[in-house]
Each structure stands twice: as C-alpha cells, then as structure tokens.
Chains A and B, each alone.
Chain A
Amino acid sequence: MKIVLDSKIPSGTVATKWTKYRQEMKLVNPANKRKFEIIVVGSGLAGASAAATLGELGYNVKCFCFQDSPRRAHSIAAQGGINAAKNYRNDGDSIYRLFYDTIKGGDFRAREANVHRLAEVSVNIIDQCVAQGVPFAREYGGLLDNRSFGGAQVSRTFYARGQTGQQLLLGAYQALSRQIHDGTVKMFSRTEMLDIVIIDGHAKGIITRDLVTGKTETHSADAVVLATGGYSPVFFLSTNAKGCNVTATFRAFKKGAYFANPCYTQIHPTCIPQSGDHQSKLTLMSESLRNDGRVWVPKKPGDTRHPNDIPENERDYYLERMYPSYGNLAPRDIASRAAKKVCDEGRGIGPNGRGVYLDFSDSIKRLGRDKIEERYGNLFEMYERITGENAYEQPMRIYPAPHYTMGGSWVDYELMSNIPGLFVIGEANFSDHGANRLGASALMQGLADGYFILPQTIAGYFATHRNGRYSSDHPEFRKAHEDVRARINKLLSINGKRTVTEFHRELGKLMWDDVGMARNRAGLQHALQRLPEIREEFWGNVNVLGSGDEFNSALEYAGRVADFLEFAELLAFDALHREESCGGHFREEYQTEDGEALRNDGQFAYVAAWEYKGMDQFPVLHKEPLIYEEVKMTQRSYK
C-alpha cells in the first residue's frame, strides 16, 4: 500500500505550527478576492460561519442548504455547550490542557497539529460569538459562566441554557444574513447538492436539485467547500435530524475524495430510550445532565420495582464504581458501553430493558429544585413531553444512541481533501476528534473551521491555483448533470413494493446490531454480506411516487437512503479492517480484561483514508501515520 497522503503539517513544535503557518501562508489581495467564487454546501455552524466569513473577506460565495432556511441546520439541536480554553475559572485550564484532553478523549487517533490549532482558536470563538450577541449564560457579576463536561476535569464549557447550538447557529446565521444583504453571499435554500464536478483533478462545481421546482442545475466555482455534517442516520434511529445525510461527502468519495475513519461513530450515552417500533428518531438529553445526575441500575437483574422504591444499597451506581475519579463524567464512549454492559447483564430498566436511570434526587436535595430547574429546566420539560414522566420526582430513563460521526472526508492541515479545491469542514471532515469526540467540542470545531481556519487556508489554494472557472457546458458538468438526472429517473421508474422508510429501517437495524456500539468480526462480515443484498433489493423493489419536476420529499429521501446503503458498506469495511478497539470503535475481540478498549498502536496508529474503486471492488486503503511529537500515547484511563 503506497502512502500518497500529504497532510501538509507545518514543521516546528506543536504549539508554534499554526503561528508559523499563518506567518508563511500565501495571501490573496483584497481586490482579487472578488474574482474568486466559492461554493459552500451546508449552512450549519461550519458552513454558515465559513460562508459569512468568506463573504466578509470579499469572496463571492454561493451557499446551499436543503432546509427551508439556513437557520435550521442540525447544529441548532446541540444542547450542552462549547469548550474554550479561557481559564476564566482559574482552575488550571490552558490551551495545552484542552489540546491534551481532546487528544486523549479521541483515544490518540487524532492529528496532533489540528487539535492544537483547534484549542488555540477556541478562545477567539467565544470572543467572536459574544460580539455577535450570542446570549451566553452569565454570573451575577456580569461575566461569562462555565460548566464542566465529560472527559475534562476543568470547567471550560460556555453555554446558553440548554440551547447553545441554537444560539451559536443563530449568531452564524445572522452573520450570514448580513452578507446575503450585502450581496457577497447568494443563498440557495431548499437546494440539495447531488454531485460534485471535478475538472482536471480540481473541484470546480456542483450539481444541485431545487427541492421546490425539482429543477436540476449546475453551479461552477473556483473552489467547493463541503460543510454537510455527519452520517449518523445510517443507523436509521439516531439523535440527528431526519434530513441529515451522507450524500455530499459520499458523492465526493465516489469522485475520488478519500473518506477517512468511517468506523469512528459516537454513541451518545444520554438519550431517551426507544418507546416502540414507530419511533422515527431518538432525542438526546444533554450530556451536561451528568454534572448533577447519577447513573444507576438495580443491583439484581430483572428488578421491576419503581425506581423510587429501590433502596440505596440495592442500586449500582456503576459509573462511579468503575471510574471513581471521573465517575458520572466519564467520556461518552465509555459511558455508553458501560450502559450496554449492564443492560446485557439483564439489569436494564424500562419497557424493553434497554435503559438506565439518571437520577437527580441527590442534587435536588443538595442544591434545591430551583437550581436544577434553572440549569436544566427545558431538558426536564422536553423529557416529560416525550415520556410523560416527571424527572424531578423520579429518575430519568436514558440509553445510548448514535449521535455524532468522527469519521469524514480526509483533509490535510489546510482542510483540503486530496482533490485540490475541495475543502471539507465541520463534522463532515475527519480531522479533530480522533476515535471519540468530547462533549462541547463539536460546536468548537465547526466554528473554528468556519470562522478562523478555512477562510485563511483557502487563500493558499487560490494563490497557487489560478485555473479559473469553467462554464456549465464543459463536458464534465454535462456528464455529471446527466448522471444526476438519470439516477432520479431510475428511482422514479422502479415502482416496486416497499417504501424508502422500510429500507432505511432495515439498514439501520442491521447497522445497529452488527456495526453499532460493540462490533466483532462475524457481525461485520454478516453486515458486509447483507448490505449488497439490501441494496440490490432497493434498486429493484423500492417505490418512489410522484415526479421529479416538483416538490417530492419521497424522492429526496430515496436518494439519501440509496447513498447510505452504499456508504454503510464502507463503514463496515473500515470497522472490520481496524483490528483494535479505540474510542467509539469497539471490537469485542480487542478488549482488556476488565472490558476496556484495547488499542493496537503498533499496527493501527494511522488514519485510514479510503479511495473509491467502484461499487464492485474493495476500496483502497491509504494510511496517514499518526506521529505524536508532543503527547505520549498512553492507555486511556478515567478511573
């Protein structure tokens, strides 16, 4: 296997790389910026902040989102907060500590240089958002408040009640709106990217479908930025919005952009358990709840008593028992697997035995109900609305659910994929979280990429590549356009017996059972054998009604599920190849005696970047070795 990946990490110590990069990077002069046109796909934290900032810098930007407004991108649902190494608490935080916590939380599978840069710009993000009017929580003295989050021993999480993602996204949306008003950004809402156009090896445009009129269109540009989020809905049930999909990055993959570490998926430990087969999505309860809630299950299996009737000495506070120093704040992957373990032992609670308690009674006793209500009031309300249970009076029921995907398009230090001119930012890329993401780090990464990193690094590409735009008459544009239309017509012409949702549910169940929280060789091989079968049935028996020339949500959904069906195979393939356990990727064959993830640094300390070779062939693996210059790889311990 040849190594062709150049991650372009600057030389020097990890703390000086970003400074050095900025000192040496090439610039585009202001008068020339307006000559460049940039396509940004996606309008979440990364996409909106990038589009706004690029517009402010003077570039011509076209921004696309499938939602009816850029303000609805799924970043809006992030509840808990955003990390920044401000050390406002005087509790020993620093850029280095945030960097180290993120590397360690990612189970030593992230790129050091990227993570340090992320920790460096984290402080600027808070300043920027405050200036935009994001109403972060404050103390009586008027200064910013912080709370602690999983995987950290300092309080560095800034928050806006339980709606931090919403407020940060509205901040970015407002900045974007200002640029739309000023004419530097042209917004295309209800427009979905269906393919990318590569000309002479460079990304030069996209093919879109207007979801209202059904019209497919070509858009040409000097560079394309994908900010299209993650792929959790490959599991059907996840905490992601119904519209979240892998189409953009997967289409790029099929056009040659490497996809890195797809098997790194995060299962969030605190979600509301599934209530029945009708369930269309799972709802997350912010991880911040673990600050004041204690996780437990009954000590004896099959205990069906009401939780309030189970005496203290018959409860197993298993996170506190297994991880005394981090306790209920153990990182997400660890907390999720622990929940699965106790449920597998038959000690799970709730209707189907897949659930654990998150109990606030001690905190209510200690702090009073008012304080708890102030901190988590909206979450308790949301819980009651969904379950009909009052969490002030009885413990919440929670269970892990797919939530975030660390894997994504492979990008170099400049956030550019192996295809020149194609940049990938936010959750859509693979770069900063390694094998597991810490809480409150997704918002940080999305905004770091969008506000502070991409707008600077993209100039380097423009300064060295002036090959310009192509007209949409170019054969590559025409071919991509025809392919898109042919695929739409194919989907509409099958007229089979099963609905798209049925296929998606079937895919999700297979992925959750075989490629979910814990994976093993047999299960992965089973998934890899079943996936082509499901896919074949889909293309022969799916029923998509209506036409392509109108608003047709069934057609949109069918296209996304078709991509998930192909992508799932890549995910399972990567999971099978990675014969170790690390972070969110847990292989049952590779665990310590007490059931912890067992990494294999000798063989697997690399980024697995996969190259597409056609659906009938195995993807080709390219390894980017992870070289740790600053941090020593250790066995992660949260005990």
Chain B
Amino acid sequence: MNLTLRVWRQKNADTPGKFVEYRANNISPDMSFLEMLDVVNEELIKRGEEQIAFDHDCREGICGSCGLVINGRAHGPLAATTTCQLHMRTFKDGDTIAVEPWRARPFPVIKDLVVDRNAFDRIIQSGGYISVSTGGAPDGNAIPIPKDDADKAMDAAQCIGCGACVAACKNASAMLFVAAKVSHLSLLPQGKIEQDRRVLNMVTRMDEEGFGNCTNIGSCEAVCPKQITLDNIARMNRLYMEALFKGILS
C-alpha cells in the first residue's frame, strides 16, 4: 500500500516545529507502524535527509517507550494497543496519516516525535513506592492477600508509563498515570502503611510538574494501551480526601 504521512519535525525544544509531508510507498499490511517509519527513514537517509526521530525500544507493547499521536489519537485508532503493536493492516491504501508527538507542557519535545517524560519519574520518586530496604522482608506468604485485591492491584500495576493518558487528555492531565500507581500500592496490605503520605506527595508533585486537571471525560481510559480504568482515578480521589481529613484531624 502507498500512504502520505504528515510528520511533525522539530529540531529541538527551542525551535518551533512544523509538519512535513512524506510518501510511504510499498508498505506491507503486516508491518507495524514503527516498521513503516523505519522504511521511510531508510529512504530519507538514502536521500541525505535526517531520519525522523521517534522513541521506541521493545516493540512489543511493554516498555512504554513509543508513543505517537496518529490522526489525532494517542497510539492510533485501535483500543488497547501501543504504537509499536499497531499494524498497517489497520489503514487503507492511499490514506493520509498525521503523526505528532505527545503534546503537554510537562513533556517538552526533544526532537521531532521524541518527548521528555521524566516528569513521570519525578512523580514516582515523590512517593510511588513502598519503603522497604533489601533484606528483612517476611516470608512471601506471611500476609495472605485476597485474590480479588491482588488482581485489582495487578490491573492498575500494568501501567507502562507511556504517557498516552496525558497526550489524549484535553487538559494534559496525568491523573490516570498517578492514580494507577496510587491504586496499585494502596490495594495491597503492604502499601496501606504509607498510603496517606504517598497520595499527598504524588499529587503535589503532579501539580508542580504542570499537568492539567481531570475533567472526568475518559479520553485517557479510551486510549490507554493497558486499559487502566477511571475507577483508579475515583479511588485516588477517595484516598486523597481520606488523607486530607486524617491530616487535618490528627
């Protein structure tokens, strides 16, 4: 199949970017979206033009590196799919495809389609963990955990930190990402001990990074490749309120 791409090219954070049109010819429907970009890049290099920069690594939907806004939708048209798992059979011969980076103030563009997502790391650093040092942990079976709780924690823990939730949200809110981590840890007995400080610190950090606010639309949930649900945001809203009350009353 033959396609037209409109790709966002931007030299670095300080230089304004623009769309540039490229032809992608002889694309196999079995290619992944990134393999299609590989083909375009190979041709660009042959022509002496610099390749389109994009983040990618595992190419099997788990590392969370890749992330492109394809025709206005984070990770493209398929639900529960990362960009690397999106295959060209989803598109039609002759399609024009717009490719943009994640756009949010806390995710500045590094180059072309590559953005800096370290804001997420800083949020985790502010409290997204259980404070246990190596050694001295009790036996793994010392604390039984109801299967339902473990399953729900796992549902939330599946987040790959790709940032599609931020990219899709009209307010560039990071609520789904933060809520997934808060939920994962708070659903487990081990994580309940630090539950209050964790949620207070993580939300404070999230606000400091300059993400927008949640308006309960659900764009994040719709594009999340791991199908993290809005339940987690509701849970974080409850946990944060609980932490505020406890902090005020204590």
- Whether A and B touch (Cβ < 8 Å) is answered with yes
How long is the Cα–Cα vector from A137 to B146 in the complex, in angstroms?
Answer: 10
Q: Does A618 contact B (CB under 8 A)?
A: no
Question: How many A-B contacts are there with CB distance less than 8 Å?
Answer: 217
Residues of B within 8 A of A474 (CB): none
- Nearest Cβ distance between residue A130 and chain B, in whole angstroms? 4
Tell me if A178 and B129 are in contact (CB < 8 A). yes
Those of B46-64 within 8 Å (CB) of chain A? 46, 48-51, 53, 55-64
With A71-B161, A166-B158, A174-B124: A276-B59 Cβ-Cβ less than 8 Å:
no
How long is the Cα–Cα vector from A131 to B189 in the complex, in angstroms?
Answer: 9
Number of interface residues of A (CB under 8 A): 81
Tell me if B130 and A132 are in contact (CB < 8 A). yes
Tell me if B45 and A166 are in contact (CB < 8 A). no
Q: Does B65 contact A (CB under 8 A)?
A: yes
Q: Does B12 contact A (CB under 8 A)?
A: yes
Tell me if B38 and A280 are in contact (CB < 8 A). yes
Q: Does B184 contact A (CB under 8 A)?
A: yes
Tell me if A69 and B161 are in contact (CB < 8 A). yes
With A69-B121, A388-B89: A550-B57 Cβ-Cβ less than 8 Å:
no
- Nearest Cβ distance between residue A341 and chain B, in whole angstroms? 27
With A69-B121, A278-B39, A550-B12: A127-B45 Cβ-Cβ less than 8 Å:
no
With A175-B129, A551-B12: A127-B64 Cβ-Cβ less than 8 Å:
no
B interface: dominant SS: loop
Q: Does A529 contact B (CB under 8 A)?
A: no
How long is the Cα–Cα vector from A132 to B191 in the complex, in angstroms?
Answer: 8
Q: Does A322 contact B (CB under 8 A)?
A: no
Q: Does B243 contact A (CB under 8 A)?
A: no
- Nearest Cβ distance between residue B56 and chain A, in whole angstroms? 6
Mask of B143-155 contacts with A, CB within 8 angstroms, 1/0: 1111100100110
Tell me if A132 and B132 are in contact (CB < 8 A). yes
Q: Does A207 contact B (CB under 8 A)?
A: no
Q: Does B25 contact A (CB under 8 A)?
A: no
Tell me if A385 and B141 are in contact (CB < 8 A). no
Q: Which of A67, A132, A452 has the most CB of B within 10 A?
A: A132
Query: Of A174, A275, A452, A501, which contacts B134 at CB under 8 A?
Result: A452
Could you name 20 residue pairs across A and B whose Cβ atoms are closer than 8 Å?
Answer: A52-B134, A68-B65, A69-B64, A69-B121, A71-B64, A76-B63, A130-B143, A131-B138, A135-B154, A142-B145, A144-B140, A181-B125, A181-B126, A212-B110, A276-B30, A278-B28, A280-B38, A385-B85, A551-B12, A551-B111
6 closest Cβ pairs, A-B complex = A142-B144, A174-B129, A131-B137, A135-B154, A127-B137, A130-B140
Binding site for A on B (CB under 8 A): 11-12, 28, 30-32, 34-35, 38-39, 42, 45-46, 48-51, 53, 55-65, 78, 80-81, 85, 87, 89, 110-111, 114, 116-118, 120-121, 124-135, 137-141, 143-147, 150, 153-154, 157-158, 160-161, 184-185, 188, 190-191
Q: A138-B150, A158-B140 are in contact. List 18 more A-B contacts (CB 8 A).
A: A67-B65, A69-B117, A69-B121, A74-B57, A127-B139, A131-B132, A131-B138, A133-B130, A133-B191, A163-B158, A170-B157, A178-B125, A189-B121, A241-B57, A275-B30, A382-B61, A452-B135, A554-B50
